[in-house]
Amino acid sequence: MIEITCNDRLGKKVRIKCNPDDTIGDLKKLISAQTGTRYEKIVLKKWYTIYKDHVTLDDYEIHDGMNLELYYQ
């Protein structure tokens, strides 16, 4: 189990617990459950890398305690 922090820089900061073999799509669904935003509208980025839904967290080398940028589409 790893914990990831997602910050939208508009005052909303969410801490999500998930597994390293979860996909980005699964992570978005967990974020939407906590924030109330529809998961289709969520875009996760780190610097200029936009994360795609079908790739796992392990493949992107997302580890415990990492911060991701949360944007709304």
Return d(Cα 38, Cα 57) in angstroms, integer: 20
The confidence band for 63, taking pLDDT boundaries of 50, 70 and 90, is: confident
Per the CB < 8 A criterion, the answer to whether 28 and 19 are in contact is: no
Q: Into which CATH architecture does domain 2-72 fall?
A: Roll (3.10)
What is the pLDDT confidence band of residue 65, given thresholds at 50, 70 and 90?
confident
Percent of the chain predicted with pLDDT > 70: 100
Domain ranges of the chain: 2-72
Q: How far apart are CA 3 and CA 67, in angstroms?
A: 9
Per-residue pLDDT, averaged over 52-72, amounts to 88
pLDDT score for 39: 85
